[in-house]
Amino acid sequence: MTFISITYGLFLLVFLGIYWSMKSPSGQLWILLIGSLTFYASLQIQYIPLLLAITLINFYLGRAIGANLAPGRQNTKKWQSAQKSWNQRRLQLLWLGVLLNVICLVSFKYVPFILSNIAAPLNLPVVEESASWISTYLIAPLGISFFTFECIAYLIDVYRGAPATKQLLQFTAYKLYFPKLISGPITRYHQFTGGLKNLQFPTLDRVTEGLWLITCGAVKKALLGDRLGILVDLCFGNLERAGSGDLWLAIFAYGLQLYLDFSGYVDIARGTAVLMGINLPENFDFPYFSTSIADFWRRWHMTLGDWIRNYLYFPLGGSRKGLSRTCLNLVIVMLITGIWHGAAWGFLVWGGLHGLALVIHRLTDAVANGLNWVKLWWQSWIGVLVAWFLTQSMVFVSWIFFRLPKLSQATLAVQHLWGQPADIQFAQKVYIEAIGLGRLQIAFLIGILVALMTLVYFFYRGLKLQLNWSVKLLLMPLGLYTVWVLAPQGGQPYIYFDF
């Protein structure tokens, strides 16, 4: 069962009917948990015991970290000694929890990668065969990266002073909450449960907003993203035959596909949550209109960026320890971000490129702050345009390593970006027979899509205008019908399911 399916629509209708028929908060939590287990069971029923076990471990670790076992202030020295001892124990419990979550993540996602990179230089065929077997037969649980990141965030928040929950049902419902379970957005426990305190049946405008988000997500993912994905797969799947122009078109199409696919998924997740009276955080804020790489990461996958800042960048020292240490911290966190997305060298290169871009931006910013005329130039309209072009050029070119995480394929794609003629039959097979449109026609349609995105950005961010609920209510049937008729049959899996 995926978000873009009739099955999910029927599931959601039945679920909401039972969910809102419950009069007590505990009854709603039970229905929430049962519905989430049902949803995940339709995808990977075999991993439900694992997710429940991880949930239980983090629940009890959180309670242990949050418990206050230090004695009262009857004796100052004794109290200080006991408090110091207890703080050390809390830190040890935190490290235990973080380590267990990281081990779980590494075991499912990175063992074949690690074994392969050990076996190759040391010429260990047995290890290489083990890596191949694990890669073939051990499928990682869907959403394991998001699942473990939320667990780590919860334990650290409790260690920093947030109250540890004593309600196992509420914590389990939060962890397995099906709209965010597979691909986020990454949601903190206390942020999530804050909205559960006063659950009310959504008003008409909130229902409309939820359905509008679901409609927008379906249009983004199924109608636009999946269509672009056909071109991307054909071009990147035929690197030896594709010409430079084809690859540039595919790179641009992939950047749009990735955004439309992931933001479409999050729109459906947030819309589903709104229908339950729950708010999930936004994950995208027009990232392709950012004018610096730092701004891009404040607007792309925003919940991951927030996690990186709060649980990696700031603990490493952030920008508090001088410019050189700041640059080092930026590279470290982006390398970790890269490898979090997948067990391949391409993801590490992608993270490294973004880390390098963040360092260059930080150094450029430091120079601009020292030279007033440079600062003024970057703030001029031509400076803003140049900054936007440089930022998005870096972002889109680096997507090569994200789409082709095998370095041999990514390197071949980079080598063919300039002066590479296409195979004589490539245009016929790919554009005419497979897609039914010529290269220029596809480029024109992508240009129209970009123009529409620019128009939406201008209305939302420039003029601060939004459609009212009555207009949305009228447009929703048209949008869903268009998806039903024009979306490619079968569709494509959500890209971020792999991460």
Range of the domain at 481: 205-284+417-498
Position 293, amino acid: I
The Cα–Cα gap between 50 and 325 comes to 39
Q: For residues 133 and 120, what is the distance between their CA atoms, to the nearest angstrom?
A: 16
DSSP, collapsed to helix, strand or coil, labels residue 463 as: coil
Q: For the segment 460-475, what is each residue's pLDDT rounded down to a tens digit? A: 887 777 888 788 888 8
- Measured distance CA(80)–CA(71) in Å, rounded: 9
Residue 411 lies in a domain: no
113 and 140 share one domain: yes
Segment 169-193 shows an average pLDDT of 92
- Whether 361 is a known active-site residue: answer no
Q: Which residue has the higher pLDDT, 241 or 258?
A: 258
pLDDT per residue over 438-457, tens digit each? 888 889 999 999 999 999 99
Across 172-198, average pLDDT:
89
346-393 residue pLDDT tens: 999 999 999 999 999 999 888 887 778 777 887 888 989 999 999 999
Say if residue 113 is in the same domain as residue 35: yes
Token pair 């004593």 is found at 166
Q: Is residue 43 part of a domain?
A: yes
Residue 70 pLDDT greater than 60, yes or no: no
> Residues 271, 273, 278, 281: what is their CA dihedral angle, to the nearest 10 degrees?
-70
* Segment 243-255 mean pLDDT: 93
For a pLDDT cut of 90, what percent of the chain falls above it? 54
Which of the two residues, 391 and 323, has the higher pLDDT score? 391
Residues 38 and 169 in one domain: yes
If you ran DSSP here, which 8-state letter would residue 313 be given? Answer: I
* Helix, strand, coil shares, percent, the chain, to 5: 75, 0, 25
Residue 409 lies in a domain: no
pLDDT of residue 355: 95
- Identify the DSSP state of 242: -
Position 72 pLDDT exceeds 60: no
Kindly state whether residue 408 falls inside one of the protein's structural domains: no
**Do 317 and 342 share a structural domain?**
yes
Same domain, 89 and 224: no
The answer on 291 and 280 residing in a single domain is no
Q: Which amino acid is at 295?
A: D
Active-site residue identified among 301, 341, 361, 416: 341
Of 370, 403, 436, the position where a domain reaches its end is 403
Q: Which of 85-89, 255-259, 385-389 has the lowest mean pLDDT?
A: 85-89
- Between residues 238 and 374, the one the model is more confident about: 238
Token pair for residue 99? 């380590």
Whether residue 80 sits in one domain with residue 123: yes
Quote the pLDDT of residue 469.
79
For the record, the structure tokens of 241 come out as: 């035959």
> What number of CA atoms fall less than 13 Å from residue 252's CA on the CB side?
16
412 domain residue, yes or no: no
Instruction: Please report, as a single letter, which amino acid is at residue 214.
Output: I
217 in the same domain as 357: no
**Domain match, 358 and 471 both:** no
| 206: nearest Cα among 296, 271, 154, 292 | 271
Amino acid (1-letter code) at residue 465: L
Q: Which tokens in the block code for residue 187? A: 């949601």
Is the same domain home to 274 and 380?
no
Segment 53-59 mean pLDDT: 96
Helices (H), 404-493: 407-415, 426, 439-457, 469-486
Q: What is the pLDDT of residue 249?
A: 93
Percent of the chain at pLDDT > 70 equals: 96
Taking residues 200-217, report their average pLDDT. 91
Q: How far apart are CA 79 and CA 82, in angstroms?
A: 5
Judge if 41 and 126 occupy the same domain.
yes
Q: Which of 147, 182, 199 is the last residue of a domain?
A: 199
Name the domain boundary from 199, 229, 252: 199
Instruction: Please tell me the distance from the alpha carbon of residue 486 to that of residue 484, in angstroms, as a whole number.
Output: 6
115 phi and psi, to 5 degrees? -65, -40
The number of folded domains in the chain is 3
> Whole-number mean pLDDT of the chain?
88
User: What per-residue confidence (pLDDT) applies to 5?
Assistant: 86
Q: Are residues 30 and 157 both part of a single domain?
A: yes
Amino acid, res. 196: L
